[in-house]
Amino acid sequence: MDRLQVMRSLVAVADTETFVGAAELVRTSASSVSRHIAALEKDLGVRLVNRTARSVTLTENGVRHSAFARRVLAEIEHEERDLAKANSVLSGTLSIICPKWLGSLELGDAIADFSVLHPEVDVRLALGGVQDRAYAFLDDGFDVSFQTRPLRESRIAARRIATLPFVLCASPSYLDERGRPREIHELAQHACLTHDHEVYWRLRSTGEEAVHKIVHSSFATNSYLALQKAVVRGRGIALLPLRSAAPAIAAGKLQVLFHGRERVLCAVHGAEGTTPRKVSALLDFVSQWFEENPVSRDASC
Local confidence band at 199 (pLDDT 50, 70, 90 cut-offs): very high
Average pLDDT over the chain, rounded to an integer: 87
DSSP helix, strand, coil percent of the chain (3-state; round to 5): 45, 25, 30
The structural domains of the chain, with segments of one domain joined by +, span: 3-87, 92-161+265-292, 166-261
Q: What is the pLDDT of residue 140?
A: 84
DSSP strand pairing (208-213 vs 200-205)? antiparallel
Cα–Cα separations (whole angstroms), residue 64 to 13, 18, 72, 301? 13, 18, 13, 83
d(CA 14, CA 64) in angstroms, rounded, equals 11
Local confidence band at 133 (pLDDT 50, 70, 90 cut-offs): low
CB atoms within 10 A of CB 298: 6
Provide DSSP, 25-93.
Answer: HHTS-HHHHHHHHHHHHHHHTS--EEE-SS-EEE-HHHHHHHHHHHHHHHHHHHHHHHHHHHHHSS-EE
Local confidence band at 228 (pLDDT 50, 70, 90 cut-offs): very high
pLDDT digits (tens, 9 = 90+) for 47-90: 989 887 777 888 888 889 989 989 988 888 877 777 666 666 68
Question: By percentage, how much of the chain surpasses pLDDT 70?
Answer: 89
β-sheet with 237-241: strand ranges across: 208-213, 200-205, 255-260, 166-170, 237-241, 192-195, 217-221
Among 11-15, 32-36, 180-184, top mean pLDDT goes to: 180-184
Local confidence band at 4 (pLDDT 50, 70, 90 cut-offs): confident
Residue 17 clears pLDDT 60, i.e. is over it: yes
Half-sphere exposure of 84 (CA within 13 A, CB side): 6
Higher pLDDT, 57 or 288: 288
CATH number attached to the domain at 92-161+265-292 = 3.40.190.10
Local confidence band at 176 (pLDDT 50, 70, 90 cut-offs): very high
Local confidence band at 16 (pLDDT 50, 70, 90 cut-offs): confident
Reference 272, options 163, 167, 177, 159; nearest CA is 159
Mean pLDDT of 116-142: 84
Q: What is the pLDDT of residue 85?
A: 66
Domains 3-87 and 92-161+265-292 share a fold: no
pTM: 0.68
Local confidence band at 295 (pLDDT 50, 70, 90 cut-offs): confident
Provide DSSP, 127-160.
Answer: ES---SSTTHHHHTT-SEEEE-SPP--TTEEEEE
The class (CATH top level) of 3-87 is mainly alpha
What is the fold of 166-261?
D-Maltodextrin-Binding Protein; domain 2 (3.40.190)
d(CA 159, CA 38) in angstroms, rounded, equals 51
DSSP H or E stretch at residue 21: helix 19-26
Higher pLDDT, 136 or 168: 168
User: Mapping DSSP to helix (H, G, I), strand (E, B) and coil, where does residue 11 land?
Assistant: helix
CB 162 within 8 A of CB 147: no
CB atoms within 10 A of CB 33: 28
Reference 61, options 53, 73, 69; nearest CA is 69
Question: By percentage, how much of the chain surpasses pLDDT 90?
Answer: 49
Min mean pLDDT across 53-67, 235-249, 253-267 is at: 53-67
Higher pLDDT, 297 or 222: 222
Q: What are phi and psi of 71, to 5 degrees?
A: -65, -45
Local confidence band at 206 (pLDDT 50, 70, 90 cut-offs): confident
